[in-house]
Structure 1
Amino acid sequence: MKVFVVLVSALASVSAGILPQVVPVPPKNRISRPSIEGRVTNGQNAVENQFPYQVGLSFSGSEGSWWCGGSIIDNSWVLTAAHCTSGASTVTIYYGATVRTSPKFTHTVSSSNWIQHANYLSLTLRNDISLIKTPSVTFSVAVNKISLPAIASSYSTYAGQTAVASGWGLTSDTSTSVARDLQFAHLTVITNSVCQATYGSLVVTSKVICVDGSNRTSICSGDSGGPLALDGTLIGVTSFGAEDGCEIGFPAGFTRVTSYLDWIKTNSGISA
């Protein structure tokens, strides 16, 4: 389950610290390659209604089409990644699906209905967050919102805690299409300083949250924009992983939701 930033090759050759030692890439640009020992990632199949806040997002634009995830945060709003909305003209939102192609219902909206962070920077995935305004949906056991973190949580790093990522992304580095069944994985949050050793501080800022990938359980292409949840609260939006693969053991990065609570409230009116 993972996502990516294409950084110019010159950046990759610079020493660690500020600049990355491992290059992150956008899922729509990632090329599948053989995985270590051919192992699949260690996610699990979700059961019906386990993640009612999870939506699938099928984007279309001049560059083609691509699949992302998102989180319902209100009857009329979905939160996802800016690298998912970037370059797209329309999106079809899949609600209440466990089997990806069998949602309870769908809505298709145009780019005029989303708000991409004005300071999104694709080079380093800075401010990788977008809001999608949707037709109002009626909540049910299959379709429901996830809570945003309390403002009081803004100072929490979450390091050492176990969160849950979900999505229909690739289940291995050799996969060529997104998953049929919704997958989830328990992932341990690591400190930003540990994550910076891999991706550098230009990518891993205070507005990023990282998880450990050493057991080869991770996010992958197609999971972009999807949720990282802790105790029923949305703490991260799937943003990036290593260019070389989802199973190679490097950390994965998420946009830190607590850093964008004011932005979310200003643009949608939603507060924790």
Structure 2
Amino acid sequence: MKKSLHLKRTGSIVGILGAAIAFGVSGTPALATTDTRPTEYIVGGQSTNSPNIVQLSFNTAGEQGTFGCTGEAISSQWILTARHCTEGSQNMKAYYSNDTSNPGPAYAADRVVNSPYGDVGLIHLKSPHQVSQYAKLGNGYTPRAGDTGSIFGYGLRGNRVPADWLFTARVSVLGQSSDAYGGKAVHVRGIDGASNHGDSGGPLVINGVIVGVCSTGDTADPGSNINAGSNYANLNDHRAWITQNTGV
């Protein structure tokens, strides 16, 4: 099965900043180039609000332009995202507004940490930022076909229309799969929406807790297919590592 990362290259911080499922081949992140045509966020789904799902903006060594991903604030100084967003990143910044055209103040990172177990990364902010509620992490989730959950992200919408807000969609679990680095992943299929470029690092929430972060898609471009499949790095093998680094 061909997999594609959901990273998004952004022309500027205003208007197009977002999460990125960087779709690549054979688990290698493929960063999308700037495109003046309309782009998409989560395909389908609906807009939502969250105090802890953040917009990420960064540069990547050896690449031109600015890229975007989605992340989850798990404490006042730690953000969870995908490793293919943090690995090789420079000038990482987080924005806490759910509005992509008005992302609010930038909170700069002073370091990133990449998991050795798969496509999970952590971002540490220079200065703490308090929110009303931090993202809750699951522990011990085993993918079961038929389970349902929700995905979130600032990525592209159907037919390549730019996202103007945070979007969410319901998905169904198909079983276990692999992430961009060969780690364990949760394979999902959209019920009323699917992930797209810009949703990388965004959460898969089942029973109120995050069980995975967006890694790859089953196709390079889901178009307007709300039932497209994607793979979310399962937090199970990373859970002790996350606690060791963040205390969460």
Normalising by structure 1, we get a TM-score of 0.71
Q: Deviations over 1:162-203 (max 9, x none)?
A: 21111110002434xx411111111111212xxx5xxxx686
Which digits, 9 at most, give the CA deviation of each residue in 1:23-66, with x for residues without a partner? x663623798x9xxxxx9212111xxx32220000112341211
Q: Does 1:147 align with 2:165?
A: no
User: Contact between 1:166 and 1:185, CA under 8 Å: does it hold in 2?
Assistant: yes
Distance 2:136 2:112 in 1: 20
Distance 2:29 2:59 in 1: 15
Taking a change above 3 Å as real, the CA distance of residues 221 and 25 of structure 1, as seen in their structure-2 partners, is farther
Q: How much is the aligned-residue C-alpha RMSD, in angstroms? A: 3.0
Partner residue of 2:147? 161
Determine whether 1:7 maps to 2:56: no
Work out the CA distance in 2 between the residues paired with 1:6 and 1:98.
27
The 3-state SS of whatever aligns with 2:137 is coil
**Are residue 227 (structure 1) and residue 203 (structure 2) matched?**
yes
- The aligned residue for residue 80 of structure 1 is 81
Q: Compared with structure 1, are the counterparts of its residues 129 and 70 closer, same or farther at alpha carbon in structure 2 (3 Å cutoff)?
A: same
Q: How many Å separate the matches in 1 of 2:146 and 2:204?
A: 14
- Do the aligned residues in 1 keep the contact of 2:179 with 2:231 (CA within 8 Å)? no
**Residues 98 and 182, structure 1, Cα contact 8 Å, conserved in 2:** yes
The answer (yes or no) to whether the contact 2:23–2:31 under 8 Å persists in 1 is no
SS of the residue corresponding to residue 242 of structure 2 reads: helix
Find the aligned partners of 1:218 and 1:206 in 2 and give their Cα distance. Answer: 21
Question: What does residue range 155-234 of structure 1 map to in structure 2 within 5 Å?
Answer: 156-175=142-161, 178-192=162-176, 207-213=184-190, 217-234=193-210
SS of residue matched to 1:74: coil
> Which residue is equivalent to 1:19?
none
Residue 228 (structure 2) pairs with residue 237 (structure 1): no
Give deviations 1:184-235, integer Å, cap 9, x for gaps: 111111212xxx5xxxx6869672111113x572101111111111233111
Q: Is the strand fraction higher in 1 or 2?
A: 2
* Unaligned residue ranges in structure 1 (runs of 5+): 9-23, 35-39, 120-126
CA 1:206–1:109 in 2, change beyond 3 Å: closer, same or farther?
closer
- 1:141-172 CA-to-partner distances (Å, cap 9, x unmatched) read xxx3111114xxx1532532221111110002
CA shift for structure 1 position 128: 0.6
Aligned AA (2:198): G
- The CA distance in 2 between the partners of 1:72 and 1:255, in whole Å, is 17
Q: Which amino acid in 2 is paired with 1:146?
A: A
8 Å Cα contact 1:227-1:238 kept in structure 2: yes
**What is residue 91 of structure 1 aligned with on the other side?**
92
1:187, 1:217 within 8 Å by CA — same for their partners in 2?
A: yes
Q: Distance in 2 between matches of 1:105 and 1:145?
A: 18
Unpaired runs of 5+ residues, structure 2, are 7-20
Q: Please say if residues 30 and 221 of structure 1, whose CA atoms lie closer than 8 Å, have aligned partners that are also in contact.
A: no
Counting matched residue pairs gives: 221
User: What code does the residue aligned with 1:26 have?
Assistant: P
